[in-house]
Amino acid sequence: MFSGAQVSLYPMTDGFVDVILDAVRAMDPFAEKLRIETDDVSTLMVGPHEALFDAMHALFDSAAATGHHAVLHATVSRGCPGEPDDPICAGPLDAGTFGPLEERQQQAMTEVRQTPASGLRADGQFSLYVPGATIHMDEVYGCIDFLKQAGVFAKSKNFCTKLSGDSSAVFEALHQAFIRFGSPAGHVALDITISANSPSLKK
């Protein structure tokens, strides 16, 4: 199943180009599993979901570690009916079977809890879309329940859910939201914003 992301990194500093170039190098361990194309607005990454989220996490942590206020935005998608398939993305989601919602929430929580901490704080928000499916709101509410139990839920906001925690837990929670909710072989899209070192939090 085709999966990928359009990713942008916004370091709020005059030296933003260097912060971005260093962050791109931090993705090297995952780059060979991904097809990567960059233009002036975003970087496309196509590949299996584990590598996608590992690469985004590495990008974020590199920028966060500079101490500058920086934000990562990603539009992440799987199973979009308008996209051609790509062998680089093949994986277990293609099997097309999902267990009951409660079972998936438990599996997702286990994965988040097993993720080693990065020591870097991440504050962000995301929206989950299941276009073209009538199960949309059930899956969205099920996903929000999982986030509350996984310890990364910050608050409900209009149009999105706010997350806060160690960057490893936040990115793994987003990864789990991506693969365990919606329909297994269907279209799922995320609109993700993750912020590091916001001066608003230091007041």
Among candidate residues 40, 14, 13, 9, the one with its CA nearest the CA of residue 27 = 9
Residue 87, interface with a second copy (CB under 8 A)? Answer: no
Q: Which is nearer to a second copy, 86 or 111 (CB)?
A: 86
- Closest contact distance (angstroms) between CB of 109 and a second copy is 22
Residues 149-178, interacting with a second copy (CB under 8 A): 157-160, 162
Q: Cβ contacts of residue 158 below 8 Å, gap of 6+?
A: none
43 annotated binding-site participant: yes
The alpha carbon of residue 123 and the mean position of all alpha carbons in its chain are separated, in whole angstroms, by: 13
Q: Which of residues 13-42 bind a second copy (CB under 8 A)?
A: 13-14, 16-17, 39-42
Minimum CB–partner distance for residue 37 and a second copy (Å): 9
Dist. CA 127–CA 56, nearest whole Å: 17
Least CB distance to a second copy at residue 175 (A): 17
59 marked among binding-site residues: no
Distance CA 105, CA 109 (A): 6
**Should residue 73 be labelled a site residue for a second copy when binding is judged by CB under 8 A?**
yes
> Binding a second copy by CB under 8 A: which of 63, 64, 179, 189?
189
Burial of 45 per CB tally in 10 Å (0-12, 13-18, 19+): buried
Which lies closer to a second copy via its Cβ, residue 107 or residue 127?
127
Among the candidate windows 55-63, 104-112, 129-137, 166-174, which touches a second copy by CB under 8 A?
129-137
88 binds a second copy (CB under 8 A): no
How far apart CA 140 and CA 143 sit, in angstroms, is 5
- Which of left, alpha, beta for 67 (phi over 0: left; psi -120 to 50: alpha)? left
The set of residues, in sequence order, having a beta carbon less than 8 Å from that of 180 and lying 6+ positions away, is 98, 104, 105, 107, 108, 146
Q: Does 97 bind a second copy (CB under 8 A)?
A: no
Residues 130, 187: contact at Cβ < 8 Å? Answer: yes
Contacting positions for a second copy (CB under 8 A): 4-6, 8, 10-14, 16-17, 39-42, 44, 46, 69, 71, 73, 75-77, 80-83, 123-125, 127, 129-134, 136-137, 140-141, 157-160, 162, 187, 189, 191, 193, 195, 198-201
> Which segments are annotated as binding site for thiamine?
9, 43
Q: Residues annotated in the binding site, as ranges?
A: 9, 43
